[in-house]
Every structure is written in structure tokens, then in C-alpha cells.
A and B are shown apart, each in its own frame.
Chain A
């Protein structure tokens, strides 16, 4: 595969949508206008747990400019959710967190809608709230969902491989520690927004900002009681998603208003609603117990994971299981037991967030590796090397790892920061500062698990030999569009600018489960390659007649067909395309592909877990001020095995962007809850990384361990780049000043406290 001459793959083409973005011309949902547009507002509970006695909408309904007010009676099927249908569109009997919607309305302006929403009177009877996942599982805890068969335990499970007791018995040293992570907001710069139109023919058209237009369509059809074919979802350019635009948030309310008023209706969240009412990253409590020989070979690991799922299940079961399967890290360990329990509480509900559960366990695993190295008096890099997974090893769900570039990521990242020469408490030129080095490695799966997921594409060759590719895949900022075009251009043998992509419209495109799980380059790329391969065959067969040669002996390159053995015999591909059209032979195809992760045995989570795996190592050098606990990252080398990099500049952007989000999780971001209410619902009080938080030196490195099943060897990159950053930096802080911080975020105050504990 590596020897193949590639024309489009592996080149850093500039994204075609970049020019629109810089000119201010990208069309986000917020920019779509319609005559007669109505504007929505949601009335939310503003208390964590209560029974609803009475909802009085009469004053709101009479308020100036109000077109309609929705109550639960207006919702045909008032239950939905990506995993369990445990979430009401509008609450009818009780509310379970402060962001729960109790009514919604639309009016002639945003101002009128917001003013009318304040006129809705809700009488509540407050219930005792449970806001701690440990307390939620105690007997007598208030129940969040009375009808859930296992109380506040949403679900539990365990990954079992080998025999951990035997593994611990064989160990020279057993290391135990508890780690905690916090709620993190996606903080997409564009807030949730949608525009719904009820068309005269009975079709519902909804413009969304979403990763999963087909998921939105399915949920809307179910909630509204409409056939799927009557619901058309068009995904506009999304202003960031990161897992937050994964499920319906406002779409059903906008649709119901549009159907009731027969006018177009727009709903949007305010930034405060983003914090109070949309999903967050699951807070985790993780207990790690690892057995290791004195040579540093890990003999067993036992992990117990408790997730705070908040008020509703959302993607929780998948997050929990993935966290457990990735929890032992990118290490060959024969004896594994990783147990997880997902709870309901009256906190804001948690869902999919970039890294999907593996972020939290990668953090704990990699902090724990450094603790083990310290106890063994071993270089943390050496400990990781001795246990690193290799191609052909089993994953923690027992399937074979078919491509693994972990060793290379360790070599490259450590060499880039000059690992052997830096850190270990070295003083910096300024007296109060100490320098430290830290690293973290990672395994992450590509594509969802437990059931196979499909992707599909349609390809059409136009009369001039330009190519139109139609897919259900949406670009949420990660650059999916350009890489899919690169795959298509490579496969057909034409220039990139001859390939046009049509996507994001459920009425036009074939089904796709969405831009999640870092699956697009791998599965979407495979579907596009297969569909384009079919039209290419058709063109070659047509050309065979024109050249009086066998199709097998012909090649297409740079938009020309030629005879492989006699390259001077060539003609433009457009001649062939025109000949097809002249002879009424339409050149179009479709192809579907599906992942091979056909499932696991739920009693042990063993089986074919995932499609393939990516690996990474990040190495950081930090400088910590021993007086203030403040620190900055001097260098961050992030080496990611992504399989074949289709567009290296895009990959680099994903590595840097993910690392920045990981930095935010590790260092500063935390949704502070008090009695079930968010205390910091704005960018003033919830800080995300700014330009000043970028590492002084950022060193992204691409490692290509090509995956046989991927188009041109591609695996994926977007999600997991968030995972190793926080533990690498915390390991570096501990190396610098001895601060053993276990709970995120590692604020300067937390660093000072941990320093005081280490040096009493």
C-alpha cells in the first residue's frame, strides 16, 4: 500500500469552505431567514427536582406577539433519548434537573418570546435532590426516575479478561489510587439552534446544526408521530459540535410550533442555557489497582468506574462501556477487570463529548502509570515501552489490533521534547520556577461499538467528467468534506477541483449515522472509495470499446484515460463521459459499507469490539511557579498514529484543537454545581483556553500505521486528540514540583495544595 503512487491522498489541500468562512459567507442556521419567521423561547424548571403541580400559560398566551404556547399535551410521543427513551420533550409530571423544559412558545421577536416566557407560572412541589453519584446508589436515595427498574443505577457492566486475582498474586507491587474528573461543557462557539418549517405538502423541513442529521430525523419522526419520509433534515454548516450536537435539543419544540402555527420558527439556546440545559462530559470517580513485577511488567489491572449521568441517560451506556474498554490503556495486559456503573442524579445530564468516556479513563490510567513508575523508580517512558501494545496483540475486548503505531509515537514524541535532557524538578532561570516533563499514551477505537454502523455514498459522473459525490456525512468543522473529496479524486484519477460533494440533506443523501466516533475518514472514506470505484469501472469499460483495448489494460490519471502499456494512446476522460451520456448510459453508482464491529458478549465485553484502533503519545514540558502554583506549557509534542493521513494539515489541526480542549479539561474548565444548580453559566466564569494557553511550542507529529481495512490505510484522528493532554501535563507538574493532583482540574490552587501535602 505504501508503495502506491498517490496524487490526492496525503496532500494538504486547503478546504474549499475555507474561503467562504474567511469572507463571512458561510451559512449557519442563525443566518437563514424566512418571511414571517417566529422566534422561540423555552420555560425551564430552574430547580433540580420537583413535582409539577400546575402550569399556567394563560398570561403568556395573551402576551403581545405570542403566536403559540406548547404544553406536554401538544407532544404526540413525549419520550425520547439516544439510548433509553427516558427524556420528555416537555415535562408533564416532574422535573429532574434545573434545565428541564416545562413549556415553550414562539412569538414575533426574540424579545417578545423571552418576555412571554417569563409570564408562564409553574407551581412546583420541591423534592429532595440527589446530586452525588455515590449517594445516588445508597438505599433510600431520592429516585430520579421512579419507574426505572434499577433505581438510580442506569446500567452497569464489566470487562473481564483473564484472572485478575492470579495476576495480582504474580505481582511484586500493587499500586492503588482514586482519580476524579469533572463536568466539562462542549462550549461550541455556535450555540444550539434550529429552524423548522411545516410545508404545505405535509413535510416537515428542519434546518439544524448537528452531527447526526439522520438521528435528528428519526427522533423527530418518533416524537411527532410522522413517517420518516415526511421529515426532512438539512444540516447547515455547524459552528462546532464536539458531541454536543448529537441529539435533539430544540428541534422538536421548533417543529411543533411550526406545525401549530404553519409559520417558520427558529429556536436557539442562550449561552446560559448551553451551560444549564445541554449535555456535559460525564464526571467520573475511578479507582485503579494495578499489579506489576519489579521489571515493570503489568500483571493485572482492576478498575472501578462510577459515572454521574445526571438527569437523563443520553449516550451514557456507550460512554461508560467505552471508558471501561479503554481504561487499561494502550498496554498488553492479560488480566483485566474493569467495572462501570452509570447513575442518575439531579445534575445536568451528561452525554457524548469528544473522547467519549475514554478521556476520563485515559487521564486516570496515565496518571496511574506515572505513580507506578515512581514506585518502581523507573523512567515513565521505559515503563510504558515495556508494556506497549503491538500490531497483532489483542485489545481489551479481545479482538486483534490490526495496526499499531504506538512505539513510534513514543519514540517521536519523546525525542521531539528531548525527553532525557529535560524536567525532573530542574530550576528555570527565574528563581521561583521549576521545570518538569510528563507524558501520556493512549488507545482509542474508531467507529461505534456493539453494533455495526453503515456509511454510504452515491457517485455520479457528469457529462464533462466532473464527479458529484452524495453522502449523508456532515462536516462539523473537522474537515470531512475535503478529505472525502480527496478520496474520490484519488480513486477516479481526477483533480480535486473536479469533485463536488453534496451532503447533509436527508431527502437526498443515503443514511449515515453521523459524524461521531472518529468514524468518517475510515468508514465514510471506504464508502466513497467503493462508490467511485464502481463509476470508474463503468468508464473504463466504455473506454475499452473506444480504445479497442481491455478495460484492465487502461488507467485513469489526471483526468485522462490511457493504455498502461502504451501511454501515448490517451484521451480526455471527458470524452468517455460524453460518450456514455450520448449513448444514454448514465454513470452513477452507490455503495454502502459497514463496520465489522459486530458485537461483544455483554457479560464480559469480549468479542469484536471496534473497527480498528488509533494510538498516541503526548509529551509535555511545563514550568511551574512554586509560589503561586501557576504553570505554563513550554512544549507539547503530540504524536498520533492516525493510519494514512489523507490531509496532513487537517490532521495537524485536529491534533492541536483536541489538545487544546484536553488542556482546558485538565487545567481550568469545570462546571461548578451547588444543590443541582450551575454556579458559573457563562464564559466569564467558565473559562475555556484562550490564545495565551496555547503551548509556547506546539509539535504535532503524524505517525502512519496504515490500517488494511481503511481507504488508502486511513484510521481516524478527531476525537482522541483530546485524551492524552491533561495527564501528560499533570505528570509534568508532578515531576516539576511533586504535586500529586488526582482530581481535575489542576488549578493553581490545587497544585499548591498538593505541593503542601507532598512537602508538609
Chain B
């Protein structure tokens, strides 16, 4: 197999300017992960169906597994690493996902949060139905989506903590 032709591209990732030579056949997810060692963005289908590799490119939500890196030349890219950090403080969406138990295995989480960010950028106060509609491009196998939806609604309402703190009803079994 002949190595693919390379092209030097430049773009910003989380406001940091980057210049990198990439094969013209390489996808953005691989440039982020392999060339830039930014492991927050995951991949899970390589078909643009699961949303795990979601990033924001020039303000729009895209699947980085379907976006050729050369198409990102000159673009502004935002990834999960740019949303917030443990040291400098989490973004409200990140804090809300954690406190609502919206993460289980955590593999879909970065893509899910990036997607939620793109939703709130476009529609700061979405209804539950609008959240459900928006998230169809992000698959999660663990949670059943309820807590993810609640976590996003909370941020739209200016909270990051669940309200009420525990929704689930707990009852003791009858004695005897």
C-alpha cells in the first residue's frame, strides 16, 4: 500500500494553534488522538452514527470520524479537553453529568457532553422533548438516557446538582 500524500494543515484546538502534516486520507479523530495525543475524543462506529467522536468545528457539531482532517484546515475546533478541567474547574455540563450519575462506563460521555454543549449554544433552554430529539445522534448503552437528559435540563435551569437530590422512591419491604 503506497503511503498517502501528506499535507500541512493548521487549525486551533481549544484556542491553541496547531500545525501538523497529515495524510490526506486521515480523519480528524485520528489526528486528535494519534498525532495530538488528545485522548478525550473517543470512537465507536466509524460511520458517524454513534456520536462518540463528536467535536465542535467552527461552531457546528460534527462527527470527527467522518471529517477528513484536511477539511479542518483553518478551522476552530473544540473538544472535551477545552470544556473544562479538574484543575481549572469543570464546565457546568461536566459538573452536572457527574452529579446526576449521567456517567456509567463513561465511554460515550465526552461525545455526549460536546453534543449537549452544541445544543445549549443553539438553544439555551431546551424542553425535554427537544433534548431527546437532539441526542438521537449520541448512543449510550448504559444509562437509558434519563440521567443524561436530567443533567442537561439542570444546566438549562442554571443548576448542576439534581433537584430533588434523590428522585428515586425507596421503600422497605413489609416485615414478615
Contacts and interface: CB of A to CB of B under 8 A. Distances in A.
**DSSP class of A's interface residues: helix, strand, loop or mixed?**
loop
A18 B86 contact: no
A692 B86 contact: no
Interface in B118-151: 131-136, 138-149
16 contacts: A2-B172, A18-B103, A23-B80, A30-B39, A187-B141, A652-B101, A653-B142, A653-B143, A656-B146, A657-B142, A682-B45, A682-B49, A690-B139, A694-B132, A694-B146, A700-B169
Contacts of A190: 42, 44, 105, 107
Contacts of B85: 23
A402 interface: no
Given A189-B140, A641-B173, A653 B147 contact: yes
B98 A24 contact: no
Given A23-B85, A24-B39, A271-B47, A15 B101 contact: yes
Contact of A648 (B47, B84, B136, B166): B166
A651 B167 CA distance: 12
A701 B40 CA distance: 34
- Centre residue among B45, B139, B141 by max chain A CB count within 10 A: B141
B50 A28 contact: no
A177 interface: no
Interface residues of B, number: 68
Interface string B161-172: 000011111111
Contacts of A566: none
A704 B47 contact: no
Interface of B: 1, 33, 37, 39-47, 49-50, 52, 79-81, 83-86, 90, 93-95, 97-99, 101, 103-110, 113, 131-136, 138-149, 165-174, 176
A698 B146 contact: yes
Nearest to B2: A64
Given A15-B103, A23-B90, A694-B145, 9 more contacts: A112-B1, A189-B44, A189-B140, A408-B173, A641-B173, A690-B139, A691-B132, A700-B167, A702-B170
A106 to B, nearest CB: 16
B107 to A, nearest CB: 3
Q: 10 closest Cβ contacts across the A-B interface?
A: A24-B40, A477-B105, A239-B107, A660-B144, A21-B106, A705-B173, A24-B80, A18-B98, A656-B144, A691-B135
A658 B167 CA distance: 18
A189 B46 contact: no
Contacts of A239: 42, 44, 105-107
Interface of A: 2, 12, 14-15, 17-28, 30-31, 33, 63-64, 111-112, 115, 186-191, 237-242, 270-271, 391, 403-405, 407-408, 412, 416, 476-479, 641, 645, 648-653, 656-661, 682-684, 688-694, 698-706
A691 B98 contact: no
A349 B93 CA distance: 41
**DSSP class of B's interface residues: helix, strand, loop or mixed?**
loop
Given A242-B141, A271-B46, A656-B147, A21 B103 contact: yes
Contacts of A661: 141, 144
B171 A704 contact: yes
Contacts of B90: 19, 22-23
B110 A702 contact: no
A477 B104 contact: yes
A701 B44 contact: no
B171 A408 contact: yes
A17 B141 CA distance: 18
Contacts of A64: 1
A138 to B, nearest CB: 37
Nearest to A725: B144
Given A22-B90, A26-B106, A656-B144, A650 B45 contact: no
B103 A694 contact: no
A693 B141 CA distance: 12
A661 B141 CA distance: 7
A656 B37 CA distance: 34
B136 A688 contact: no
B44 to A, nearest CB: 5
B109 A22 contact: yes
A648 B139 CA distance: 24
Nearest to B143: A657
B173 A111 contact: no
Nearest to B79: A24
Given A189-B108, A240-B105, A653-B101, A688 B165 contact: no
Nearest to B147: A653
Contacts of A17: 103, 106
Contacts of A14: 98-99, 101
A28 B42 contact: yes
Nearest to A477: B105
Contacts of B44: 189-191, 239, 271
A270 B46 contact: yes
A63 B149 CA distance: 49
Contacts of B132: 691-692, 694
A31 B93 CA distance: 23
A241 B141 CA distance: 10
A303 B144 CA distance: 32
Contacts of A479: 104
A412 B145 contact: no
A27 to B, nearest CB: 8
A699 to B, nearest CB: 8
Contacts of A403: 173
Contacts of A21: 97-98, 103, 106, 109
Contacts of B46: 270-271
A24 B83 CA distance: 10
A567 to B, nearest CB: 29
B53 to A, nearest CB: 11
Contact of B144 (A20, A25, A240, A689): A689
Contact of A701 (B45, B105, B147, B168): B168
Contact of B141 (A23, A688, A691): A688
Contact of A651 (B95, B109, B168): B168
Contacts of A682: 45, 47, 49
Contacts of B168: 648-649, 651-652, 700-702
Contacts of A698: 144, 146
A18 B139 contact: no
Given A691-B145, A691-B148, A701 B106 contact: no
A698 B43 CA distance: 29
A22 B106 CA distance: 8
B131 A691 contact: yes
Contact of A683 (B40, B45, B144, B173): B45
Contacts of A645: 170
Given A22-B95, A653-B147, A31 B39 contact: yes
A24 B145 CA distance: 19
A18 B101 contact: yes
A689 B148 CA distance: 14
A244 to B, nearest CB: 10
A692 B133 contact: yes
A64 B3 CA distance: 10
Nearest to A663: B144
Contact of A240 (B47, B138, B141): B141
B142 to A, nearest CB: 5
A21 to B, nearest CB: 3
Nearest to B25: A111
Given A704-B172, A704-B173, A18 B141 contact: no
Nearest to A16: B98
Contacts of B37: 33
Given A115-B1, A682-B47, A660 B145 contact: yes
A350 to B, nearest CB: 18
Contacts of A28: 42, 107
Contacts of B101: 12, 14-15, 18, 649-650, 652-653
A660 B174 contact: no
B105 A237 contact: yes
A690 B1 contact: no
A176 B103 CA distance: 43
